[in-house]
Amino acid sequence: MEFMFQQQQRIKTNGIWMNIAEEGTGPLVMLLHGFPELWFSWRHQIKYLANQGYHVVAPDLRGYGDSDSPISPSSYTIFHLVGDIIGIIDHFGEQQAFVVGHDWGAVIGWYVSLFRPDRVKGLVSLSVPFAPRSPKIGTVASMRKMFGDGYCCCQFQEPGRAEKSFARYDYLTVMKKFLLNHKTDNLVAPPGMEIIDYLETPSWLPPWITEAEIQFYADKFQESGFTGPFNYYRAMDLNWELLAPWQGSKVTVRTKFIIGDKDIGFEECGTREYIEGGMFKSLVPNLDVVVLDGHHFIHQEKAQEVSAEILSFLSSFSEA
């Protein structure tokens, strides 16, 4: 299969080994995946952007795929994640990179841009907007208050709980439940039910992904497990404590935000209201917002549209 032959290497960054896929030459573009994904989620964008004259690098993030997976949740703070990315940019000898992130990768993109705006030429963020830190209540307590214990992020907190429930299914089924999820409300399981049981297993595949592609994810997660990915959620409250000095700070890097109109919680949880209102723009003053017809994994579902949106943003820097 063509995607198996992507050029990959493991590089040392921030004290761990990370697997990266790369292609092309030119300005550096970092593509950061989300949960539960891999570098492979960017397979369409890697080829497209490389063909347009960019050096495209897509890592398996810490805890995922063929990258190292430290055991402790405290090794997954936003500072570790940002440090990993700065280390990759340094590895290639670049002063600046374009950063493109989806889901957790979007969160990393926001904080790379907040902590080190000198290293980010421009940011494209998909699906997860920059959110202000609550000054009074921790992240998990805030989520529990809004959505209850059935919320996926809350269920992922207790070590072993989600691992145990996920293990009731084969890895291919787990990947289908997440990647092909069409629920537009937030991922909240009914009382007494685990989120993995609540998510449906579709009996058919949409045209944007093949069984072989889903199997690629399944095989990698079978090797690496889900504890690394869950540790991102288990570090959320630690992040909240550590981010106190940045209370009220703004992301000044030039940004394009892309989201699908059927993304999780887009209408029901006020995402549309937030991104189209004044608050988001006040925190990210140099911002363009693009709403596409699609779901959460928009860069795979609407690969051509998303690739074109990313390219138009990158191209605008050489025109400026």
Residues annotated catalytic, as ranges: 103, 233, 296
Place of tokens 């989520």: 143
- 287: alpha, beta or left, given left = phi > 0 and alpha = psi -120 to 50? beta
Contact 81, 108 (CB under 8 A): yes
Q: Identify the CA nearest to 81 among candidates 277, 235, 257, 262.
A: 235
- Rounded to an integer, what distance in angstroms lies between the CA atom of residue 302 and that of residue 47? 15
Tokens of 312: 């138009």
| 3-class secondary-structure state, position 62 | coil
Q: Please, are residues 111 and 81 in contact by the beta-carbon 8 Å criterion? A: yes
What's the burial of 99, exposed, middle or buried (CB within 10 Å: 0-12/13-18/19+)? buried
Is the N-terminal amide bond of 190 cis, ω within 30° of 0?
A: no
Q: Please give the structure tokens belonging to residue 250.
A: 């703004």
* Dihedral angle sign, alpha carbons of residues 16, 131, 297, 143: positive
3-state secondary structure at position 31: strand
* Cα distance between residue 216 and residue 17, in whole Å: 21
